[in-house]
Structure formats: structure tokens, C-alpha cells
Homo-oligomer: A and B are copies of this chain.
Amino acid sequence: MTVADQIDTQDRLYLEDLHVGRCFTSASHAMTVEEIKAFARQYDPQPFHLDERAAKDSFFGELVASGWHTMAITMRLLVGGGLPLAGGVIGAGGEVSWPRPTRPADVLTVYTEITEIKPSRSRPDRGMVTMRSETRNQRGEVAQILVARLVVPRRPA
């Protein structure tokens, strides 16, 4: 993917440019079975992420991506223009849930809404922004919900 190159630095948004309710849509990413297994081998080597046959007898009943792989792809899509923030996408933490797994050949897109903006009292050069992202597949089903707290800089004077 080279989507990261699509957003010029000068188009990126500062705290002042955001408002609650502002929405963003990322580019899309098509998952492959090779990619699912490669991520799993390195970071989540469990049978239901590694092997179709073993996955059949597992909780999922089929090969599925690691939830953290869905998250990593979500981050890639956010960084690659899905959330064009000045200073980058810098998370302090958040909540994640996976209503359903990501399967091979699923095409993921991230839909993000700004839900809260709090200028920092102690650090006048920044604020904390809460975002809610849904990572949906090609059928519009939600594979992941991420509510995250981000550090966003103010526009320099």
C-alpha cells in the first residue's frame, strides 16, 4: 500500500480544524489468506489463524484473522489518510471490540467520527480528541469498533 503518500502534510488537520461529529472514511484494504497467516505466525500463532483444517475444529469453525491483525490494518488505513491529523495518529489508549472476525478476501474500510474534543489545560499546544472508528467489511458488517483517545496538536501561532 502507498496510501500514506496520498495526503500531503499541509492538508493535515490541527485541533482547531476538528469538531464533534466530523467524519472520515479511509481507503480500503483487501485481506488475503497469506497475509492472515503471516501476521499470525509472527504475532498470534494460534491454529484458527494459521491453518484452514485446524480452524474447522476451533471456536471459529474457519480460518479468521487475528483481531490484532484487523487492528493493525485499521491503523494502517487511519495513518494512510483515514484520519489526516497534523502530528500523526498518536493514541494514548482506547477500547476495542470485535463483533465478528475478519475472513480471507474481506475488504476492510474504516469509518471514523470525532466524538469529543478537550483542549489541554496544562499543555496549551495540544488537546485530547476521542474518536470512534468502525472497521467494516465489504458487506458493511462491523468487524471492529475502536474508541481511542488521541493527542492532537494545535495549529502553531
Contact = CB atoms under 8 A, between A and B. Distances in A.
Interface string A66-97: 11100111011001100000011111111111
Interface residues of A, number: 34
Given A68-B68, A72-B68, A45 B79 contact: yes
A45 B93 contact: no
A48 interface: yes
Given A67-B91, A88-B48, A43 B73 contact: yes
A59 B45 contact: no
A5 to B, nearest CB: 10
A67 B94 CA distance: 11
Contacts of A106: none
Interface string A53-67: 000001100000011
A104 interface: no
Nearest to A43: B72
A42 interface: yes
Given A59-B151, A94-B97, 17 more contacts: A42-B72, A43-B75, A44-B75, A44-B79, A45-B80, A46-B89, A47-B88, A48-B88, A58-B87, A58-B88, A68-B75, A93-B95, A93-B97, A93-B98, A94-B95, A95-B95, A95-B96
